[in-house]
Amino acid sequence: MKFVDEFRDAGLGRVLAGEILTTVEPGRHYKIMEVCGGHTHSIYKYGVDDLLPSNVELVHGPGCPVCVIPMGRVDDGIAIAHEPNVIFACFGDMLRVPGSNGTLLEAKARGADVRMVYSPLDALRIAKQNPDRDVVFFAIGFETTAPSTALTLKRARAEGVENFFCMCNHVTIVPPLRALLDSPDLRLDGFIGPGHVSTVVGARPFHFICADYERPVVIAGFEPLDLLQAIHMILRQLSDGRCEVENQYTRVVPYEGNLRALEIMAEVFELRPHFEWRGLGLISQSALKLSDAYADLDAELRYAVPGVRVADPKACQCGEVLKGVIKPWECKVFGSACTPEHAIGTCMVSPEGACAAYYNYGRFAREREVV
């Protein structure tokens, strides 16, 4: 399959790795952040970081939709799930994210009707099959996933489905990036831009990184050669003294994004004044809620939710991992108290999370190094 196979070609990968080696300046240390959790997963899965010179460091960013959901929001979801007439639908990884009193999966074990879905459309289908129950879809994700929720809410309204509701936790990618760039404890040289978010929002929203912070951005695909090429493009920009938004993922990402998706999102959602991000704290205008026109489908208005901010467990250092300040293995509980099977922090729950990706693919190589 051409779309995938040629972007995993080992020979071309070696060529690119060689070109990266000739582009870096000896003695200079490069810190490049991959914003998207999908990139983090690919980097560890394919060992992309092993192909880089030792002075090129990849820093994992906040772009894992599950990892950034704070415990308080999980608690709110569980409260709705326990309402007597509710079927609570959400994506698979979200079921295992701990709140202050367990996970949605444990709520299911205690009797709540929690069901895993692969798309908002699945949740709408459940609503049609159960007209006498309320179906609440726990919506998470960046701009990649938000259009899917928006389309489904429009569809529910158009089809007259009156028992479908949404607890909206959609977040936007630019505000956390700005927060990271403003953070004094992190110095980054460039960014690997999120590929599928950019399919929706296009390249334009990332120009502020060049204009305001003078850092290069290269939007990249998810195969190993995509990542190597994007890293090479960033290093070339740094070497040439350029600072631009470049698009490595042109086979999928148009410069303007998907205008229809942006229109529908603008109709169905509006920005929250602020939203709590795990590890990053409250960030202004960084998340979406249902617009006034769709307020009757908003589960948070239909049901009473605690709405309490809950501090992360003291041992958990997800916040520092999400900001790229520490590596997963530098967390005190990584691989001991916190594993994918018994996660303390969100970064270990989702395979998109840096800790889980590193736990699943990278830890053995590191153990070899130590020996």
DSSP bridge partners of 274: 284
Q: Per rule CB under 8 A, is residue 243 in the interface with other proteins?
A: no
Token pair 């070899």 in the structure block, residue: 368
Nearer of residues 49 and 106 to other proteins, judged by Cβ:
106
Give the ranges where the chain is alpha helix by DSSP (H). 2-5, 10-23, 37-46, 71-81, 104-109, 120-129, 146-158, 174-182, 195-201, 207-213, 224-240, 259-268, 299-302, 318-322, 354-357, 363-370
Nearer of residues 36 and 305 to other proteins, judged by Cβ:
36
Q: Per rule CB under 8 A, is residue 356 in the interface with other proteins?
A: yes
Q: Per rule CB under 8 A, is residue 203 in the interface with other proteins?
A: no
Total of residues contacting other proteins (CB under 8 A)? 65
Backbone angle region of 222, left / alpha / beta, with phi > 0 → left and psi within -120 to 50 → alpha = alpha
Q: Per rule CB under 8 A, is residue 122 in the interface with other proteins?
A: yes
Read off the amino acid at residue 269: F
User: Considering only residues 350, 354, 358, 362, which one is a binding residue for other proteins as defined by CB under 8 A?
Assistant: 350
Q: Per rule CB under 8 A, is residue 111 in the interface with other proteins?
A: no
Q: Per rule CB under 8 A, is residue 46 in the interface with other proteins?
A: no
Binding-residue pattern over the window 66 to 105 for other proteins, x denoting contact by CB under 8 A: x----------------------x-xxxxxx--------x
How does strand 281-284 pair with strand 274-277?
antiparallel
Rounded to an integer, what distance in angstroms lies between the CA atom of residue 15 and that of residue 132? 60
Tally: H helices and E strands in the chain? 16, 13
Rounded to an integer, what distance in angstroms lies between the CA atom of residue 297 and that of residue 32? 41
Smallest gap from residue 86 Cβ to other proteins (A): 15
Binding-residue pattern over the window 139 to 158 for other proteins, x denoting contact by CB under 8 A: -xxx-xx-xx--xx--x---
Question: How many CB atoms neighbour CB 253 within 10 A?
Answer: 25
Q: Per rule CB under 8 A, is residue 248 in the interface with other proteins?
A: no
Smallest gap from residue 323 Cβ to other proteins (A): 19
Q: Which residues bind other proteins (CB under 8 A)?
A: 1-4, 36-38, 41, 63-66, 89, 91-96, 105, 115-123, 125-126, 140-142, 144-145, 147-148, 151-152, 155, 194-197, 199-200, 222, 251-254, 258, 260-261, 264, 339-341, 350-352, 356, 359-360
